[in-house]
Structure 1
Amino acid sequence: MSSSPEQAGHRGAERGDTSRVVMVLTNFVTGDSRAQKIARSAAAAGWDVTLIGRAKSSRREESRLGDARVIKVPARMTGQTYRRTHPPRGLLGWLGYRSADLSRMRCEEQRARRHDLQVELWRARELGANPFHRMRLAWLRARLRWRGYLVEGRRRLYERSARRFQRRKIAPSAWDRIKTRTVCALSHDKGAWRYQPELTDFEIAFGPEIDKARPDIIHAHDVDALGLAVRAAARARKAGRTVKVVYDAHEYVAGVVRADPSWSPVMTHQEAKYISLADAVITVCHPLAEILRDRYRLLELPAVVANMPERDRPDEEPVSDVRTVLGLDPRVPILVYPGVVTPLRGLTTVVEALPRLPGVHFAVLVGERHRYVVALEERAAELGVADRLHILPYVKPHQVVDFIRTATVGIIPLLPTPAHQIAICTKYYEFMHAGLPVVVSDMRGQADLTRELGNGEVYPAGDATGCANAVRAVLADRDRYTKVYDAELLERFSWEHQVPTLLGVYTRISAAKAMRQASRRVGIAENHGS
């Protein structure tokens, strides 16, 4: 009696033939809620899961995440460091020093030579000098002066190149983008390795660890892990083993806007090169699934596994809540935003709306106090609302819902980018499970869902007045927006509802492998029999 591929895949997993899953992500694991939930859920379902991420220290670290094994490997990031200290040079830049280290060494060497010449002159005055020696000292003095002009000139040219490179990373010009895209398109992989040298660093750090784990399935989290997974599968194929690759597209790579103008074209090229070699593609929302299918002419629509909160979260140490941490009375309205903080996330809009919202506080959960966070605080001080802007540290991903539950409104003020137009952030679902109404900018994905559910208000992106009006509307009748959060809705928008799709992908591709191996064994047996 024949069996279905699904049944074959489950039996293979039970035997241990096709059950080893290695998940690869190039971040530090701790802040990646999606990777953590996938690892825990797959391991709980019986798969032998190893999650490979990056260590913050120079030591290899091992731990457990539920039934999954976590390995964090040190990445020396030699290429990235070299790129940072050896900025690209323009025409005049080629006359300057190549790096900060070389510039500093030459300046220190010049200073030492100058000090040594002072000793030579003192020695000549004390001991006397013949005409030949005086001529030599005159020559040394002239040579040192000429060399000083040269060293100083090259130092200034290097620093000019470095400043231009830093400015370009902060605010790249249209010419920067055109040049980068052209180089990446014409030079293919050379452009990738040159403009994003961390790809080399990741290959050196993660490649051997993936090979050592001898996976049956490699789950590549995000585009910078896709090439790692496919190259590891190619090495395994050369060694006689078949390894399946799952590409987990976390975002619309071609639509991402970053300060580094080379990131999007390089990573889009990497995605285009490797995605057709993946055995399955999963992603975070239906619009992105359709874009990936159409853009890369995939044979089937990628499976959608949205990054939603778990109904049954891991039992760990209890977490406080935002209202208790801020020490605010239950009647004081609190807007809350947990997540990545960059200019394109639009938090400046909310800060500028605070003067129009007397008594309303704004709590932002951030990973680090970087330049933009400081700029937010400075802007709040200019507007006289510094006492109502609160910068709080991150909590663990599975603790976010409980921490923000005592806030009043969840806010997502994204500014327009192609990626933001289709995105529905994880924090949106976290707001739902925390029972918070939402105020969102009019990015298409989140705006359409908000209007469909009736759980909040939408305002024009970047409009502080519109943001304030939307917040006032929600505060005026908060219960009207939160009553939609019944048990059925929360179950629909929960991680547990996503897990069957994820496991179905694993089962399908592992079953295909098991059936192919079985047919190969049958063919070998028939050849022996004949």
Structure 2
Amino acid sequence: MLVDNAVDGDSRVQKAARSAAAAGWDVTLLGRSPDGVPHRWRLGGAEVRLLPMGGPPTGAQARRRRAVAALGGLRRPVETAYTRFWSTALRERAWRRLEPSLWQYERAYGPVVDALDPDLIHAHDFRMLGVGARAKLRAAERGRRVRLLWDAHEFLPGIKPWRDNVRWLPAHRAYEREYAPYADAVVTVSAELARLLQAEHGLADRPAVVLNAPDPVDSGKPQPEEEFVSVRARCGLGPDVPLLVYSGAAAPQRGLAVLVEALPALPGVHVAFVVNRPDGEYVRGLVDRAGELGVADRLHVGGYVPADRVVPFLAGADVGVIPIEHWPNHEIALITKFFEYSHARLPVVVSDVRTMAETVRTTGQGEVFRAGDPADLVRAVRAVLADPARHRAAYDRPGLLKSWSWPAQAEVYDRIYADLLPASAPTGGTEG
């Protein structure tokens, strides 16, 4: 199993590895070391290994850097022409010129994958797709048949580029197009994304869907009192203080600013941000803005908690908020925090991104507001706080939370693994 992160904080990947090992598969999860040092540990029955990345640029990378210097940094019009030229000339192979740093993943992961000599490679997201495809091809040259499962977490054409340059998205789209045909099966996070992926890549079969749902076994684990602290306790608030929580990545497109702007119109209400980078520049800006508005004492910022504690941790709040803005990928899926709030039985307030808004209006588990509109967020929060029991009652619907739980999703992975490797399918595993 391959992932382009440090595993910690990626609940989907953690659950996938642990549940596959529990089902009897021999799982090694390779991730990216955050500090340039190798790390190893066990995740249930799965082995986790974090691999160092980096090294000096070579070959195409060095040539590209020299070209950038020669052109004075490739100002945007020149960069656009550069991108258009190589995209036309090399098509799917254009990423080699536009984003040669992708070779770093091959150098870090490729030799380790080859040494493991797997029967199945489960590649999470687009960067690992290429690593898995090339490992599959090398295995074929040795006379070994390796199956490749691509786990597409996002629709690449619909995401905000991770870097502010015109090359990033065309390069990664080319990379994905080159290696998507090598996948023996594809799985993704929503039915709408499955439809988009099939159309984008001309897939013969519609990708299977595995929701980013919590594991109720984890959520129900008893926590020693000296170790477990709820979000309310971490904020130092009593039981009668209204508390809104946002849990997830902190970035402008996640819409956290609207919560800060709404606070002056919600006297007595507190907001907790449970985020990946509580000391990051974006979050510091939100804290500064809260100070300007005179509400800094009602904004609480903290980091993530372990995946198996997220749901009970969040249950200490009164409302879960998802204020994400209108980006194509935000419209097409129920995201991880939506399911975590649901299993914490929190009423939710969500922006009017399509899939989540439609779901909330159908279930009655919360309210919908116009993305980026503080006044409409205030209206929605007041409506939920006025009758929280009515919104919580939605979770009593028979089968709702069960269908949104990890065991049901893990069965999908297990069926795909068994279809790809029928001769190697385990007869059953034990929880590790």
User: Paired residue for 1:236?
Assistant: 139
In the superposition, the TM-score normalised over structure 2's length comes to 0.90
User: Paired residue for 2:112?
Assistant: 209
- Whether the 8 Å contact between 1:79 and 1:200 is mirrored in structure 2 is no
Question: Which one of the candidate residues 353, 360, 383 is aligned to 2:269?
Answer: 360
User: Can you list the C-alpha shifts for 1:58-104, whole angstroms capped at 9, x where unaligned?
Assistant: 33222111011111111125449x979x96877xx6387xxxxxxxx
Shift of 1:512: 8.2
What letter matches 2:24 in structure 1? G
What letter matches 1:358 in structure 2? P
Shift of 1:57: 3.3
Structure 2 distance, partners of 1:257, 1:73, is: 27
Secondary structure of 1:48's aligned partner: coil
- Whether the 8 Å contact between 1:184 and 1:265 is mirrored in structure 2 is no
Structure 1's 462 and 336: CA in aligned 2 closer, same or farther, altered over 3 A? Answer: same
Structure 1's 510 and 463: CA in aligned 2 closer, same or farther, altered over 3 A? Answer: same
What letter matches 1:271 in structure 2? E
1:69-468 equivalent positions in 2, closer than 5 A? 69-79=47-57, 94=70, 161=73, 178-179=80-81, 182-183=84-85, 185-186=87-88, 187-188=90-91, 191-258=94-161, 259-261=163-165, 262-313=167-218, 318-368=227-277, 369-468=279-378
What letter matches 1:331 in structure 2? D
Structure 1 distance, partners of 2:367, 2:66, is: 46
Structure 1 distance, partners of 2:169, 2:95, is: 11
RMSD, matched Cα = 2.4
Shift of 1:260: 2.9
Count of residues in correspondence between the two structures = 414
Secondary structure of 2:283's aligned partner: helix
In the superposition, the TM-score normalised over structure 1's length comes to 0.74
User: Paired residue for 2:430?
Assistant: none
User: Paired residue for 1:35?
Assistant: 13
User: Can you list the C-alpha shifts for 1:372-391, whole angstroms capped at 9, x where unaligned?
Assistant: 11111121112111111111
- Whether the 8 Å contact between 1:340 and 1:366 is mirrored in structure 2 is yes
Shift of 1:189: 5.7
Question: Which one of the candidate residues 20, 25, 39 is aligned to 1:47?
Answer: 25
User: Is 1:488 equivalent to 2:399 in the alignment?
Assistant: yes
Shift of 1:56: 2.5
Structure 2 distance, partners of 1:198, 1:184, is: 16
User: Can you list the C-alpha shifts for 1:437-491, whole angstroms capped at 9, x where unaligned?
Assistant: 1101100011111111110111111111111110111001111100111262111
What letter matches 1:332 in structure 2? V
Q: Larger radius of gyration, structure 1 or 2?
A: 1
What letter matches 2:229 in structure 1? S
User: Can you list the C-alpha shifts for 1:140-189, whole angstroms capped at 9, x where unaligned?
Assistant: xxxxxxxxxxxxxxxxxxxxx4xx98xxxxxxx7x588547524522446
Secondary structure of 2:238's aligned partner: coil
Structure 2 distance, partners of 1:394, 1:504, is: 32
- Whether the 8 Å contact between 1:337 and 1:412 is mirrored in structure 2 is yes
Shift of 1:333: 0.9
Aligned residues: percent identity?
43
User: Is 1:479 equivalent to 2:389 in the alignment?
Assistant: yes
Structure 1's 326 and 74: CA in aligned 2 closer, same or farther, altered over 3 A? Answer: same
Structure 1's 209 and 459: CA in aligned 2 closer, same or farther, altered over 3 A? Answer: same
What letter matches 1:432 in structure 2? S
Question: Which one of the candidate residues 408, 417, 420 is aligned to 1:509?
Answer: 420
Structure 1 distance, partners of 2:61, 2:342, is: 42
- Whether the 8 Å contact between 1:311 and 1:494 is mirrored in structure 2 is yes
Higher helix content, 1 or 2: 1
- Whether the 8 Å contact between 2:186 and 2:207 is mirrored in structure 1 is yes
Shift of 1:252: 1.0
Shift of 1:238: 0.2
User: Can you list the C-alpha shifts for 1:377-425, whole angstroms capped at 9, x where unaligned?
Assistant: 1211121111111111111122111111110100011111111111321
Instruction: List gaps (5 residues or longer) in structure 2.
Output: 426-432
Structure 1's 179 and 426: CA in aligned 2 closer, same or farther, altered over 3 A? Answer: farther
What letter matches 1:488 in structure 2? G
Moved more, 196-205 or 24-33: 196-205
Structure 1's 416 and 180: CA in aligned 2 closer, same or farther, altered over 3 A? Answer: farther
Structure 1 distance, partners of 2:348, 2:82, is: 39
